[in-house]
Amino acid sequence: MTGKGLQAPRGTFDVLPEQAAQRERLLQAAREIFGLAGYRLIITPAFEDTALFERGVGKSTDIVRKEMFTFKDKGERSLTLRPEGTASVCRAYIEHGMHKLPQPVKLFYTGPFFRHERPQAGRYRQFNQIGAEAIGSDSPLVDVEVISLLSDLIEELGVPGVELRLGSLGSLDARATYLDELKSHLRSRDQELSEDVRARIEINPLRAFDSDHEGTRAVMADAPHLLDFLSEEDAEHFEQVKSYLGTASVPFTIDPTLVRGLDYYTRTIFSFVCDRLGAQSEIGGGGRYDGLIEQLGGPATPAIGWAAGIERILLALDEEVTSAGMDLFVVVPDPELITKAVALVSELRHHGLAVEMDLAGRSVKGQFKQADRVNAAHTLILEPGGTASLRNMETGDQRTVDPKAVANLIRS
Ligand code: AMP
């Protein structure tokens, strides 16, 4: 039905059954890849205390400043529909004392996320992510394992034209020196910057790298790069990540201007971009967030993770997946046979066959049409004497059978 007030809200969408098969395939592939590497599913609430994201994602980020769906509950508590998954997973890690488990704790999640963004192709206000987090180790081996998961998923699904960009933000202490350099570079040319970037020179100068404002881009072309300011330890960590990625046969390119939209990242950051997508070209990305758990009140705990947009992956795949058809459609030529049909359909489903029968009082001709519509491989036409005719819909071959033998006949 269409009509005023009866549409899905702006920036949201319905996934109709004919579009769902592709999602199922994606999630199935992801679960398999996560399972093989020992990552286990975690499910957290769709809303959290607003303070979690203010502290976890960062007050200077676009997400917290402008994009959160925040509301008061009846007890006047401020709640927010989750705009991303990492803060919630870290909250759960702390709340459930997961630091006592063998480390790193390896988790994955999937579900809807909410950001009040300007809707466009590949950017929605409710979208779905799939993500992985490995919490409790700063080994570069973890960086490589986590990055490989997304790289494997992209390869398994056959997403074309994807490139992995890799960078390092260094640890928080070491970054301070660099940020001073960057700020003075920005200040020295502040008249050329966009208003937004100028207003955030002090609080979030790194975001200037992400700007598509022409003047800002010109200023950033001459900006110092964080990669040249890494501490010896951070540089060594980054070297090892690169080397193990080579060992794991994961191709990448180094991007010294790479930054991410969330404040919590440290050391390794990465982004998988796809040249088949327009302006919103990132399929997924993430990085290390070695300071986040402590910032949220937990013990100092290094961690790394990523999130990928399910809709972005599907857009990049841009393929039709036809859902599997039915094994059998039971045709009932005479109302007296309905009881028999109901019993048979139920029995065959218990045998694991995909079986349908008419539910709308169709004529025999109409039932055959319906069998075609549901893409049934066979039809079984019940007969008054207790026998039935099994028809192979592809070849047209038809033979008389005992309905009890149908399950085996279809399987063979
Ligand atoms: P982020 O959580 O911002 O690091 O984003 C991770 C991934 O989620 C991105 O690479 C996108 O694929 C996807 N994503 C982020 N925001 C949106 C959005 N508004 N609509 C659709 N997908 C999104």
pLDDT in tens, 203-218: 889 889 988 899 999 9
Mean pLDDT of the chain: 94
Banded pLDDT at 3 (limits 50, 70, 90): low
Banded pLDDT at 96 (limits 50, 70, 90): very high
Tens-digit pLDDT profile for residues 11-32: 999 999 888 989 999 999 999 9
Would you say residue 83 has pLDDT above 70? yes
**CA-to-CA distance for 303 and 287, rounded, in angstroms?**
9
Q: Give, using CA atoms, the residue closest to atom 3 of ligand 1.
A: 261
For ligand 1, the distance from its centroid to the CA atom of residue 21, given in whole angstroms, is: 22
pTM exceeding 0.85: yes
For ligand 1, the distance from its centroid to the CA atom of residue 213, given in whole angstroms, is: 21
Tens-digit pLDDT profile for residues 342-351: 999 999 999 9
Determine the pLDDT at residue 234.
95
Banded pLDDT at 389 (limits 50, 70, 90): very high
Determine the pLDDT at residue 18.
85
Q: Which residues sit with their C-beta closer than 6 Å to ligand 1?
A: 84, 115, 117, 122-124, 127, 129, 261, 282-285, 307-309, 311-312
For ligand 1, the distance from its centroid to the CA atom of residue 364, given in whole angstroms, is: 50
For ligand 1, the distance from its centroid to the CA atom of residue 293, given in whole angstroms, is: 22
Determine the pLDDT at residue 262.
73
Q: Give, using CA atoms, the residue closest to atom 2 of ligand 1.
A: 84
Banded pLDDT at 411 (limits 50, 70, 90): confident
Banded pLDDT at 2 (limits 50, 70, 90): low
For ligand 1, the distance from its centroid to the CA atom of residue 307, given in whole angstroms, is: 7
Q: Give, using CA atoms, the residue closest to atom 16 of ligand 1.
A: 123
Determine the pLDDT at residue 412.
80
Would you say residue 1 has pLDDT above 70? no
